[in-house]
Amino acid sequence: MKFQKKALSICVAIITSLTVLFSFNACTATTDEPPESSAEGTKFTYARLTDNYAEEKTRLSLYNEEDITDRLKALNQELNSQFNYYELSFQALQSLSYFDGDNRFVKVYNRKGDQIKNQQITIDGQECYVTSLYTLQTNKNLFDNQLSSLEKGESFDASDYLLSDSKAVPVILGWNYLEYADIGDVFHLNYLEKNMDFCVQGFFTKGLSIKLNNSVICLDDYICMPSLDMEDATVPGDEDHLFQVRQYLQKNQGYIQLADDIDQELVESQLAALCSSFDLDYSLLGTLYQMNILCGE
């Protein structure tokens, strides 16, 4: 399917939990050692943020707070300015037109290999076919420092991270998309229940992977998009209010680089002060992460 060399029509998406889960494709290896063909970079230790709004009632209440988008954005700005902060999430882009492309691009959600592929639903009287695609979102700090190894095309620039009504969102595709898509192709997909255009502007080198502890996430089958920022303020009832809240809840579950074990206590103290100032409830997960990039061939 040259990804069909045409736009993929979308209506709305079935959105999974906003808690970031790591789902791995057929290119993934779980091992104590990197693949022999990979060059392993410098390892750093990271603490990951999580919000404490897991209960449905609590999250719905948060959505209805008048200034919630302003506070979430302010926290995100502070995270990016005060820390070496990596935004890394795996929220799937979704197609609702019939997907006849390579199965390797369709996201696997669990160890049993379950996928959302061409599941039929009816929206406004129209039959749609839901398919979730492997996707990752990164902020500029993570992409520029770790993921800018391209086979061809252009990396993201600063303006690409700001959502614009006048241009498509740029994406970098994994190596295995080279036979299905070209630079300049535009696809209409759905992200967090918002229909958007995405334009291909580059392809990763073969085998580029992210290693988190003992799990290796190979990006050959992934769509990489910027972790988007939005300038417009919203209040409950606005068209994009829910989209912005979901987006910033996701952006604020990133990774803070730690210098050493003592640094974690300082980060926890700083995070507590930030959350108090913005009346938000976040904490650090107990698990620490080793993150580095495998360069592939």
153 vs 202: CA distance, rounded Å: 4
pTM for this structure? 0.86
Residues in a beta bridge with 21: none
Instruction: Give residues with Cβ within 8 angstroms of 138, minimum separation 6.
Output: 86, 87, 88, 147, 224, 226, 227
Which regions of the chain are under pLDDT 70? 1-43, 261, 296-297
Q: What's the helix, strand, coil split of the chain in %, to 5?
A: 25, 30, 45
Q: Is the dihedral of CA 79, 80, 85, 90 positive or negative?
A: positive
Instruction: Give residues with Cβ within 8 angstroms of 206, minimum separation 6.
Output: 151, 175, 220, 296, 297
Q: Whose CA is closest to 290, among 28, 45, 21?
A: 45
**pLDDT, position 9:** 37
Cβ proximity of 291 and 212 under 8 Å: yes
Residue 101, SS3 per DSSP: coil
**pLDDT, position 56:** 93
**Tens digits of residue pLDDT in 106-135:** 999 888 889 999 999 887 788 889 899 999
Structure tokens that stand for 121 in this block = 């639903």
**pLDDT, position 124:** 75
**pLDDT, position 125:** 83
108 vs 239: CA distance, rounded Å: 31
**pLDDT, position 42:** 58
